Amino acid sequence: MRDALFTRRDILKASAALAIGATGATRVASAPAAESVTPALIAAARKEGKVVWYTVMDLPVAEKLARAFEAKYPGIPVRVERSGAERQFQRLAQEVASRIYAADVVNSSDAAHFIVWKRDGWLAPYVPEDVARHYPAEHRDPDGLYATSRIWLSSLGYNTNLVKPEEAPKSFADLLDPKWMGKMVKGHPTYSGTILTATFQIARDLGWEYFEKLAKQKVLQVQSSTDPPKKLALGERAVMADGNDYNLVQLKEAGRSVEIVYPSEGTPLIVGPNGVFKMAPNANAARLFQSYLLSLEGQQLLIDFSGQHSAHPLVKEKAGRKPLGEIKLMKDDPAAVEKQSEEIKARYTKIFGV
Amino acid sequence: MLGLAVLLCVLIVLPLSWLFYFSVTDRSGAFTFENFSKLITDPVFLDPLITTFILAILASLACCAVAAPMGWLVARTDIPARWMIRILVMASFVTPPFLGAIAWELLAAPNSGLLNQGFRLLTGASQEERLFNIYSFPGLVFVISCYTFPYVFVLIANSLDRIPGDLEDASSILGGRAWVTARRITIPLALPALVAGALVAFLQSMTLFGSPAILALPAGFHTMTTKIWSLFQYPPKPELAAAASLPLLVLTVILLRAEHVILGRRGFSVVGGKSGDPRLVRLGAFKWPALVLCLVVLLNPVFLPYGALLNATFSSVATTLVSPANFTFHNIEFVFFELSATKLALKNTFILGATAATIGTLIALVVGYLTTRKAIVGYRTLGFLATAPVAIPGIVLGVGLFLSYTRPPLILYGTLWILLIAFVTIALPAAYQQLQSAFRTVHPDLEDASRILGASRLQALAHITAPLLRTSVIATWCFVFVGVMRELSAAIMLFTSETKVISVLIFDLNESGDLAAISVLGLFMLIITFAVVILANRIPGFGGVHLRNH
């Protein structure tokens, strides 16, 4: 099977080169040609018999996608290895340094990680058909190493049992009001990629003074960006200072007493890429999974179930949800995050004490 | 036998050597004291050190304050249902402390905690008011004490069990009233056990990782163990982690020495030929209030947390009381049928538990035999090596093993072997202690008789000693197995995605706030634990596991 795969890939490489030559493309990038899901790929994946997905999505969302994949491709169980993006980044580095190759497909909420992994040569080029055909350029790596699997925001929120709508904070600045002292929950940038990305954008646009003042408000410091929405829904804190807006969408649709606030200064935009790991022990299953996740089917399921947004233009937003276009966004900048990541974490830890 | 000594040396000396090496080198491998100077000058490290120290002292005092009267009530008074109290204390002992901490989040998180909700409901207090705040320094001291006091209880109860009644009788006969007898006889005799208990509780509280990681970080402070762990965040700083581990190690060694000195004197106090059973103090009218008091204490480590976990298992909202409206099987379904990490974590835990228990018991058995029978030259060294890991806190061992086995010649990181080494090392001292005392109960005459009749040493061991020790061996095995299930601090440093165990999975789930899934897994873990403990206790002739584990 391995031989077959290599042959096929060699052919594809050759055809990709041909394609570039034929169109006379001046682009330096060397994205391989799109690959459709062939019976040969499915058979090879089935022979491997499993796929391990290192992901940072909220656990029930990731498991939902995993089960859907298993239903479509029986005999290829997905093991979801879920952790915070920054924690996962460290663990993956530690594993690779010890030559442990357990990951097949990798996902992150810190897009900067893909810059690092790409530079280190840890990602395998693979462009699923849907990505080639539909994904806008800003949501796919020019070299075909990864593509955006989901888009969401780090928003504010409040518990509607504890806060009246007219009293709810409307902006980041509102959170600094003494009335929210001891009433907020937020995630941690050394654990969560979402929070790290959001911290970067907020510090860039509002300055670190914002965090210095926020730290004096006695926030409940949790780790994952999936946790503040959950603590909010339990009524543990009245206001969420950062965290996944999509968890709030889910909770709200489930009838829980939470409300999302997109702050007037703009809401941090989080883009979560997904890629095939080069040293993947189950290389075919990894490609099949990558292809499924980025397909219209996978994306539509992800978006319907989780309340996130898709880079796939054919995906339809569920009725009643706020389209991304109507929200004032902060600008994401993975390259800058990559450069400042360590500094952000150190500075944050110093300000908040943990 | 040399092989055994070498094996024990490798288990203990190798990780510690790497720890020392890293603590005095910089990135380039050059010698430096900079790591230590950073440790004592940078408030980022100094604060957790001080916090940990105060935390451990307070928890230790709290444990003694609770365990001493309880130990006395159970051992020396006619309090009703004493067996039940002992069982419940044992239940608090086998409950993983990190699970207890999460259960207490469900109970006493300032706003959503069940107890605080109940308080507001009963008193009509406003949303602003609360009875407890578990995300606080006192909250952490409380939760740590809940799961550390059994160590003190067992030491005190055992010691009081052993104080001969004669001395107290003599005091009464000479006209001493109850209080005089207590003050001049019982308390002085029990004092060494109390001091030793205080030291053990201090050590436990100081080296615990799970509870502070779960409660202190939300509260906004670090302890030494959480700080060491955070030094492995990206980019990892192993040399600082190594340096930060050493104070814990040194302090542990010093305190264990102190404990040894204190407990060493105890033998003196109970010399006196055959002595009667201890006289039970009649509590009279205080009998039932005393029982109620004990049960109230045991609400905290057992009834309330178990209840909270059970509630979260079947409720659609973790901190809402189960009712027909929100009753659900979804959480159980999620953990066992959707959560894809469950199967592997359970498998790993069982494999590790069974092999660590088997190997640990075997080593302890051999070393115990050699030392009690003084069978070889250098048996003292063997005994020392088997006891030495007591002085290595779990997280320190984790760091040491990580540094040792992530580099050639032996890369064990990423395999179950590295966890196996950690668990065997951690379990060895307690297993050795148990089996050594079991060997002492089998008189060498029996073996000698067998050898006179022509059996070799090994045959004598197989036909005479082994059958007599069977129950102790099984008990030790179960004891190690349970210990592996509740181990987190070393596992958190050493696991990879393929070698995750249940304790680590629960910790992961806590970081993403999946409380319902934790409750299901936690209860499942407790059920297995109790099944194993009951198994150990049902073996005839076995009188209860000696509750001692570091």
Domain count, chain A: 2
Range of the domain at A42: 2-25+32-149+271-321
Please give the average per-residue pLDDT across B425-451, as a whole number: 87
Lowest-confidence segment of B18-32, B87-101, B135-149 by average pLDDT: B18-32
CB contact under 8 A, B498 and A102: yes
Distance, CA of A65 to CA of B340 (rounded, Å):
12
Q: CA B202 to CA B221: how far, in whole Å?
A: 19
* CA angle, residues A156, A211, A202, in degrees to nearest 5: 60
- DSSP, collapsed to helix, strand or coil, labels residue A169 as coil
Structure confidence at residue A16 (pLDDT): 45
Query: Which residue from B minimizes the CA distance to A113?
Result: B234
CA dist., res. A148 & res. A296, Å (int): 13
Task: Say if strands A184-186 and A220-221 run parallel, antiparallel, or are unpaired.
Answer: parallel
pLDDT at A14 over 60: no
Q: What is the pLDDT of residue B264?
A: 67
How far from chain centre, in Å, is Cα B300? 17
Per-residue DSSP letter, B323: -
pLDDT classification of B51: cutoffs 50, 70, 90? very high
Q: Which uninterrupted H or E stretch holds B535? A: helix B515-538
CB of A23 within 8 Å of a chain B CB? The answer is no
CB < 8 Å to B339, chain A = 59, 63, 80
B465: distance to nearest CA of chain A, Å?
A: 45
Q: How many residues does chain A have?
A: 354
Here the tokens at position A253 are: 């649709």
The answer, for B239 touching chain A at a CB cutoff of 8 Å, is no
A312 shares a domain with A235: no
Q: Which 3 state secondary structure label does DSSP give A326? A: helix
For residues B383 and B371, is the Cβ–Cβ distance under 8 A?
Answer: yes
d(CA B130, CA B136): 13
Q: What is the pLDDT of residue B269?
A: 41
Distances from the Cα of B107 to the Cα of B118, B143, B232, B493, angstroms:
10, 11, 31, 29
pLDDT tens, position by position, A98-119: 889 999 999 999 999 999 999 9
Q: Are residues A97 and A123 in the same domain?
A: yes
Q: Which residues contact B333 (CB under 8 A, 6 or more apart)?
A: none
Mean pLDDT of chain B: 89
pLDDT band at B233 (very low <50, low <70, confident <90, very high): confident
pLDDT at B433 over 60: yes
Q: Is A227 on the interface with B (CB under 8 A)?
A: yes
Burial of B121 by CB count in 10 Å (0-12 exposed, 13-18 middle, 19+ buried)?
A: exposed
pLDDT above 70: residue B21: yes
Å from B118 to nearest chain A CA? 14
Q: Distances from the Cα of A184 to the Cαs of B2, B12, B87, B114, B349, in angstroms?
A: 60, 46, 41, 19, 37
User: Which among A80, A95, A233 has the least Cβ separation from residue B496?
Assistant: A95
Q: Are residues A104 and A246 in the same domain?
A: no
Instruction: Give the pLDDT confidence of B262-293 residue by residue, as tens digits.
Output: 776 554 444 444 455 667 888 889 999 999 99
Class for the domain spanning B329-550: mainly alpha
Using pLDDT thresholds of 50, 70 and 90, give the confidence band for residue B189.
confident
Beta bridge partners of A275: A106, A146
Residue B145 and residue B59 in contact, taking contact as beta carbons nearer than 8 Å: yes
User: Based on the domain organization, do A293 and A226 belong to the same domain?
Assistant: no
Lowest mean pLDDT among A248-252, B94-98, B264-268, B474-478: B264-268
Residue B94 — very low, low, confident or very high, per pLDDT cuts 50/70/90?
Answer: very high
Same domain, A167 and A229: yes
* Listed residue (B239, B227, B175, B292) closest to B51, CA to CA: B227
Whether residues A294 and A343 share a domain: the answer is no
- Contact yes or no for A245/A156 (Cβ under 8 A): no
Domain spans of chain B, in order of start:
329-550
CA neighbor of A143 nearest in space, from A181, A177, A114, A168: A114
Is the minimum CB–CB distance between B273 and chain A shorter than 8 Å? no
Q: Do A284 and A135 lie in a common domain?
A: yes
pLDDT higher than threshold 60 for residue B527: yes
- The tokens describing A103, both together, are 């990951």
Query: Nearest by CB to A80, which of B219, B235, B341?
Result: B341
Same-domain pairing of A82 and A127: yes
- What is the three-class DSSP state of B183? helix
Whole-number Å distance between alpha carbons of A53 and B125:
48
Cα of B428 to nearest chain A Cα, Å = 28
Distance, CA of B216 to CA of A4 (rounded, Å): 54
- Asked if the model's pLDDT at residue B118 lies above 90, the reply is yes
The contacts of residue A325 (CB under 8 Å, 6+ apart) are none
Band of pLDDT at residue A29, cut at 50, 70 and 90: low
A348 and A254 share one domain: yes
Rounded average pLDDT over B18-34? 90
Q: Is the pLDDT of residue B448 over 90?
A: no
User: Could you tell me the CATH number of the domain that includes residue A11?
Assistant: 3.40.190.10
User: What's the CA gap between A192 and A223, in Å, rounded?
Assistant: 7
**pLDDT per residue as tens digits for the range B321-338:** 999 999 999 999 999 999
DSSP A136: -
Quick one: A81 and A62 in the same domain?
yes
A275 lies in the same domain as A263: no
Strand partners, A240: A157, A185
